[in-house]
Amino acid sequence: MKLTKLTFAAIAALGFAFAASADDGTNLPPASTKTGLTYDTDMKPIFDVSCVKCHSGDHPKARLHMDTLAGVLKGTKQGPILKAGDSANSFIVKSISHQTEDHDAWMPPVGNKAGIKPLTDDQIGLIRAWIDQGAK
């Protein structure tokens, strides 16, 4: 009986710890330590490979233009995709790291027709650092 209670208590504690960390960014790849990040120099090359094919032109998906800094900062038809200074709570970071419950929001989409691969942890870390540094 004691073992069962102890096991239950341990499982409950682990579940609580996981639930507590789910919204604090701890499941995200860490932000890069690189400083002085800019859209033109550091983000555009990543976005050009992984995002611009669908998020540019006359009819960008979700009305999100990722081919310009202004477009990224403007966001989607639902609103901004990032919070400058707060990457852990920015939708784009949750989306590219597949930390949203809505799998349709995972970017790039899993199994996309263009064959665009998911972003690496290093790329996500750079995007996080760029956002944390003010998204300039």
- Supply the range of the domain harboring residue 127: 29-132
Sign of CA dihedral 31, 33, 39, 40: negative
Asked if residue 89 belongs to a domain, the reply is: yes
Asked if residue 110 belongs to a domain, the reply is: yes
Helix (H, G, I), strand (E, B) or coil at 76: strand
> pLDDT (tens digit, 9 = 90+) per residue, 41-76?
999 999 999 999 999 999 999 999 999 999 999 999
Q: Is the full-model pTM beyond 0.75?
A: yes
Asked if residue 83 belongs to a domain, the reply is: yes
Asked if residue 53 belongs to a domain, the reply is: yes
Average pLDDT over residues 21-36: 79
Asked if residue 38 belongs to a domain, the reply is: yes
Res 3: pLDDT: 45
Q: Which of 111, 131, 107, 115 is nearest to 42 (CA)?
A: 131
Asked if residue 61 belongs to a domain, the reply is: yes
> pLDDT (tens digit, 9 = 90+) per residue, 88-127?
999 999 999 999 999 999 999 999 998 999 999 999 999 9
Asked if residue 46 belongs to a domain, the reply is: yes
- Domains held by the chain: number: 1
Asked if residue 97 belongs to a domain, the reply is: yes
